[in-house]
Structure 1
């Protein structure tokens, strides 16, 4: 009995000693990560360095919530050396010696290699490291100050609403002339990519059927997103500075360079985002569209400019949409019947001021339960 008492006293003394050294506090602070963050890299060490510095500026204070990985495709020595020079991240290397057989003449091999690399890296993070969520960045991106808080709020939405396939930090129509509100978020039927988070359960579904190339356009096919949608902010939380890459700078000057990177610290923790849940959003978005003034005619841009409040313009078909989009300067592109950034056929953007312009498909109002006036 005496021996037991003695052991108890020794144990109590040890616990008190540990508490005094702050171990109790340390254990209390240990938490499950919100998401792993992976930067997909290949051969651009200068770009990668700029990206890592941007991430570490905001990730260091939340490192336990967002463990950082660099995944390199291939063996470029400068990229490898750079990644290994940082203690704050984990380096992964994808070495793939299998020859690439393109399916059509003139295709770039790079798109095939990128798709293989993505599959390998996400399999590693979800299946080997067992993360529940992963945020994917590329080696030519800078992030906003509230990037991590935004994704923490997004993780809650992703868990609550299975009709959300991914959370993105990117708005295709996020050029500075088309955005105003750093708090505003939207649902979209079009996968934005460029800084996005998905869950393990979604990856388990996608991994076995992952495509040989063009993985982002593949995700935009209805047969793959299967009616699920994507959350994106009005004002981007990532900025893509990579003029030289696999897409050969084709969009850079017109669409990427003028993107507005958010510079406002939004308090996402206190924000009620329940309006984005599937059952609430149809009414929320429908009310915005309903209040917008309908305008018609070839001079719709001029009319939109002269009206103070929100406006809506109906387009007849894809060709008509492209003509209207061209006049405003937003993305004209569609994939599998869906315009970029569209929700139920509607593309929304700000025009010069805080006024919103809604480009509305013939069937959109019916889908939203809004009566055409």
Structure 2
């Protein structure tokens, strides 16, 4: 009896073990539930993701160049060269096609498509690349009759940055290979951008510069510091910081450089890295040709939106771009202009003096010199790892982003005083340091007051 009982219990134990093993096997082999919607979902994000992204941005900004900056050289611009593929394309009357990156925001997508068509695009000019299979998004796309490609979510969970990077690669590959095989470039926007009426005119106006100046990279419709209501709608700038947010991507750049090594995450910071940018700069307008219409995103919260996106001034009327507008951003012309401003400037190293001087009604430029980097002293995880960077000392009085690399050209930010006076915020030492007057000591970090995020209106 006892032997039969022990045998029965042994069989039961073996069956139990087999059942558990089978359950584990099913758990490992069968796909789990789909991952949560990424990136473009309208939900608040944890503060930690913003901290990690901020450190990624700082790492890119301070990463030593693979090649010393002064040794990164490009041939002289070719202003009289024959028209290239992009210029010929627009000269024939065609618009650069647009790739709209979308996920599950139907109303912002509808607004984006409406604005694109108000700017002159036809249904044949637009591809909506959707991450996921949200039927409401597909219905909006059908309303406009534009091309539609949907990317199914992967079986393995990904974080927001990975989702975005893979969606971009999917969208751009489909655009260049399948939907617009004859286009020499595409414009890339996300589904929460509304564009100006001269959005396509702007890109047609600046594209020739990209084909004639190898020190240029891409062109963007976005100015990170485009808050001034009195900006010149025809003024163009160069920056080493890739702005994104409505940008022109040449086919040659995609096929020969970007597509073969597209990253698995944080694609925008990768675009800003030395290995990719290679010392090249981006063109952008002083007055934005796009505005951001969503309060939340993977790396966006309501504070950043209210502070840095909602106040952006977008060009409301169509601007008649001169046929040679692109010449102003060719390297040598641009450098001569910046050096001319600095050579003629009144130079100061005191913020209060700069603020007072910027309000004067004069055409004499004003240059404020400072000498400090981003806040990269504390490692991630430290109590003060993401305190406001010292750049707020000069960015706050002049309505700039707290990140010093955004919109700068070789360490120089250009703003315009309330009475129209040109103001240059110049980081020392930079390429223009020889133009700093002898005896002028740049503003030091120690001279800046301590500022917390709470001081800037953000609750941690």
The question of 1:262 aligning with 2:315 is answered yes
CA RMSD of aligned residues (A): 2.3
Matched with 1:346 is 412
What are the residue-to-residue correspondences of 1:100-249 with 2, within 5 Å? 100-101=157-158, 109-128=159-178, 129-130=180-181, 131-176=183-228, 179-204=230-255, 205-249=257-301
Residues 86-118 of structure 1 deviation map (CA, whole Å, 9 limit, x = unaligned): 22x2111112324145xxxxxxx2221111000
Alpha-carbon distance in structure 2 between the residues aligned to 1:260 and 1:298:
25
Report if aligned partners of 2:127, 2:175 keep a CA contact under 8 Å in 1: no
1:328 to 385, 394, 398: 398
| Higher-Rg member (1/2) | 2
Q: In 2 relative to 1, CA 365–221 (structure 1 residues): closer, same or farther, beyond 3 Å?
A: closer
Alpha-carbon distance in structure 2 between the residues aligned to 1:308 and 1:293:
14
1:316 to 371, 378, 384: 371
Matched with 1:290 is 343
Instruction: Give how far 1:55 is off.
Output: 1.0
Alpha-carbon distance in structure 2 between the residues aligned to 1:272 and 1:298:
34
Report if aligned partners of 1:149, 1:269 keep a CA contact under 8 Å in 2: no
The question of 1:50 aligning with 2:102 is answered no
Q: In 2 relative to 1, CA 349–302 (structure 1 residues): closer, same or farther, beyond 3 Å?
A: closer
Report if aligned partners of 1:170, 1:238 keep a CA contact under 8 Å in 2: yes
Look up the SS of the partner of 1:135 in the other structure.
strand
Q: In 2 relative to 1, CA 30–168 (structure 1 residues): closer, same or farther, beyond 3 Å?
A: closer
Look up the SS of the partner of 1:157 in the other structure.
helix
What are the residue-to-residue correspondences of 1:37-116 with 2, within 5 Å? 37-60=98-121, 63=122, 67-87=125-145, 89-101=146-158, 109-116=159-166
Q: Which runs of 5+ in 2 are unaligned?
A: 1-89, 374-388, 439-460
Alpha-carbon distance in structure 1 between the residues aligned to 2:343 and 2:91:
48
Instruction: Give how far 1:211 is off.
Output: 1.5
Report if aligned partners of 1:49, 1:82 keep a CA contact under 8 Å in 2: yes
Q: In 2 relative to 1, CA 301–285 (structure 1 residues): closer, same or farther, beyond 3 Å?
A: closer
Instruction: Give how far 1:285 is off.
Output: 2.1
Matched with 1:13 is none
Look up the SS of the partner of 1:231 in the other structure.
strand
Matched with 2:23 is none
Q: Which runs of 5+ in 1 are unaligned?
A: 1-28, 102-108
Report if aligned partners of 1:114, 1:213 keep a CA contact under 8 Å in 2: yes
Look up the SS of the partner of 1:91 in the other structure.
strand
Alpha-carbon distance in structure 1 between the residues aligned to 2:326 and 2:298:
36
Instruction: Give how far 1:302 is off.
Output: 3.3
2:430 to 359, 364, 368: 364
Alpha-carbon distance in structure 1 between the residues aligned to 2:232 and 2:91:
35
Alpha-carbon distance in structure 1 between the residues aligned to 2:96 and 2:323:
20
Instruction: Give how far 1:155 is off.
Output: 1.8
Report if aligned partners of 1:94, 1:117 keep a CA contact under 8 Å in 2: yes
Residues 168-211 of structure 1 deviation map (CA, whole Å, 9 limit, x = unaligned): 0010000135x521110011111111110011111120112112
Residues 51-90 of structure 1 deviation map (CA, whole Å, 9 limit, x = unaligned): 1111111224xx49x8111111111110011102222x21
Alpha-carbon distance in structure 1 between the residues aligned to 2:93 and 2:266:
33
Matched with 1:23 is none
Instruction: Give how far 1:212 is off.
Output: 1.3
Report if aligned partners of 1:301, 1:328 keep a CA contact under 8 Å in 2: no
**Which TM-score applies when normalising by structure 2?**
0.67
Report if aligned partners of 1:312, 1:358 keep a CA contact under 8 Å in 2: yes
